[in-house]
Amino acid sequence: MPGPSWAGDDPADLSTIGANAASVLVELADAAPGRRMPTLADTCAWHRRVYDGCAVPNPAYVGRFRGDPAEPDLTGYEVGVGPDLLDGLPEKVGVLSDEVAPALGDFIDGLHAAFGVLDAAIPTGRRPTTADELHEVVVLTAEVHGEWVRIHPFANGNGRTARVWAAFIALRYALPVFVRLKPRPADVAYARAAKRSMGRPPDFFGDHDEASWVFAHLLALTLLDASCGPQGGDR
């Protein structure tokens, strides 16, 4: 039987989570020029860092994936968002716990392959300089974010970790962090796109197209804001 539910954060911990998230972003920015290939262990470390010092229903949930055979309380731990539908399942459902490990294996293999292509096309420390390059980075960011949300590998904090991935990719290609980590983007389109990235049984198919459009918009707003800052003389 799975352990206790972890459906949300303790409001008393929100400032701690915000400070922890900010420190993770600083570390990502410092490491970005090295372009090291990320691992699933990195995501577990990010998760532990974000929840450091916070109250959680079970400490074993922090930095561990659902279905982890080493943690009985995560065996059979299923997650979903939205109201229950007629079949008794939530509107959107994370990949079943016993399918999380293979789904994550496909995720990290696909990400490494995509980085291999983009790293060869975009030199270290240089932003994308063509519309095609920028499009590829934005689409990859949306798909990685969407796949993480679709899999929903942690008991809680999946959206936050997906946004860490978005920051990781942006910084790798010398772009500003355009998908805010904490608090999450306030745009209702972001929440809608994240939900569309999730699926439900039997196929758990997610649609990341809307996330690509939303992310392109968020990046455009971030770059416009930077160009209109004090150094731009417009405000």
Instruction: Please state, in angstroms and rounded to a whole number, the distance separating the CA atoms of residues 3 and 156.
Output: 13
Give the residue, 181 or 120, on which the prediction is more confident.
120
In a domain, 84, yes or no: no
CA distances from 77 to 61, 85, 86, 135, 147 (A): 10, 19, 21, 36, 19
Instruction: Domain count for the chain, please give it.
Output: 1
Is residue 6, in this structure, part of any structural domain at all? no
Within a domain: 31: yes
- What tens digit of pLDDT does each residue of 83-92 get? 999 999 999 9
* Residue 43 within any structural domain of the chain: yes
- Region for residue 204 given its phi and psi (left: phi exceeds 0; alpha: psi -120 to 50; beta: otherwise): left
Q: Answer whether residue 5 is part of any domain.
A: no
Rama region for 139: left / alpha / beta (φ>0; ψ in -120 to 50; rest): alpha
CB contact set of 70 (below 8 Å; sequence gap of 6+): 64
Residue 73 half-sphere exposure toward CB, CA atoms < 13 A: 13
For the segment 104-118, what is each residue's pLDDT rounded down to a tens digit?
999 999 999 999 999
The structure tokens 């972003």 sit at 25
212 in a domain, yes or no?
Answer: yes
Answering whether pTM is above 0.85, one says yes
The tokens for 46 are 């990010």
Considering the domain boundaries, does residue 165 fall inside one?
A: yes
Q: What contacts 108, CB < 8 A, 6 or more positions away?
A: 38, 39, 40
For the cut 80, the answer to whether the pLDDT of residue 227 exceeds it is no
Which residue segment(s) compose the domain that 164 sits in?
11-76+95-227
Q: What is the CATH number of the domain that holds 108?
A: 1.10.3290.10
Answer whether residue 88 is part of any domain. no
d(C-alpha 170, C-alpha 215), whole Å: 11
pLDDT of residue 232: 42
